[in-house]
Amino acid sequence: MTAEFQLDEEQQALVEAVREFTREVVAPVSAQHDHEHSFPYEVISQMGEMGLFGLPFPEEYGGQGGDYFHLCLALEELAKVDQSVAITLEAGVSLGAMPIYRYGTEEQKQAWLPKLTSAEQLAGFGLTEAEAGSDAGGTRTKAVLEDGQWVINGTKEFITNSGTDISTLVTVTAVTGEQTREDGSVKKEISTLLVPTDTEGFTAEPAYDKVGWNASDTHPLTLKDVRVPEENLLGERGRGYANFLGILDEGRIAIAALATGAAQGCVDESVRYAKERETFGAPIAKNQAISFKIARMQARAHSARLAYYDAAAKMNAGLPFKTEAAIAKLIAGEAAMDNARDATQVFGGYGFINEFVVSRHYRDSKILEVGEGTTEVQLMLIARSLGLL
């Protein structure tokens, strides 16, 4: 990507390949999977064969040797048509495989990454609990080291990719002790542990009945006397939550790309429909109220794209990007929700029918203002960067 945010030939080729795949493979089955709340195994398998799950990883781990921006480009294209498929990729990479790549030992990387980067397997990240998410201090899941094994007890909420037939691993945050601050106060020591899903005592409870993202896999988890080897500690003991904050910063760029795709998908569908739908003898696109609404939608999508391009460029350059990632997540999430509302209005009654893409975007997009850091969290991060909090 150049300074002017123009894609190079390789990046453009990736966009075109994913766009064609989305049109020919994803789109024809999206409504069915959404209606049935079924996981699109056949789609995910083909995405694995295309190398999409390995885009930002080195070839030595089965990856494509690209970077995070390549992943973002793929996510934007997928999300134009199917947010459930896009979030399966986003979570599988940024929450499932990326923590192992960033913080794992060489043995852990070799053991897990090749099958995760090929989508033969999926992994999730078990952070959120009923009283803990943005507030790590609320973490109640505990892990005690006994005879060379971590014994884990607790529950997790809203864990993506945790209960499919190919889900094989969840990285779990747990309280492993206490740490004393410089001022003498005590805080929880939070670490991350690799927990294979077939471990005795690990249970993926029945899937949630969600408002949207119906073809995405999301479960609450129960861990009862789950035992994993001591070497399943991921990263340094006591650095689990701190490390995950870094993962979230990266993930916000990816979610912003996904949200941008949703926003652009609403534009594309609205343009097509406005040119085809006629009232009073003319296409509704000739109605200034309609055309101006779609023009504003395009402005939102364009702004969101520039925001995540900028954050990704800074990340790839090794520059600080936390604030830019928060800005991108904020702008893109709101653009997706606003565009979904407006697109539904453009479609009129058809916008209320689930077989239409815009109706699914209307249900799906709300979570983009909540998941992986709420709008309020992004505002807090931006305000802190300005020295206001």
Return the active site residues: 372
How many angstroms separate the CA atoms of 71 and 49, rounded? 15
Residues paired with residue 122 on neighbouring β-strands, in sequence order: 167
How many CA atoms does the CB half-sphere of 155 hold within 13 Å? 8
Give the end-to-end CA distance of the chain in Å, rounded to a whole number: 34
3 state DSSP class of 62? coil
Strands (E), the chain: 122-126, 142-146, 149-160, 167-180, 186-196, 202-204, 218-229, 233-234, 278-279, 282-283
Coil, helix or strand for 239?
coil
DSSP line for 163-189 = SSTTEEEEEEEEEEEEEE-TTS-EEEE
Torsion sign over Cα 98, 51, 122, 75: positive
Contacts of 147 (CB under 8 A, 6+ apart): none
Handedness of CA 60, 62, 65, 66 (dihedral sign): negative
Query: Residue 53 CB: number of other CB atoms within 10 A?
Result: 30
**Pairwise CA distance, residues 79 & 344, whole Å:** 17
Identify which of 215, 110, 96 has the alpha carbon closest to the alpha carbon of residue 167.
96
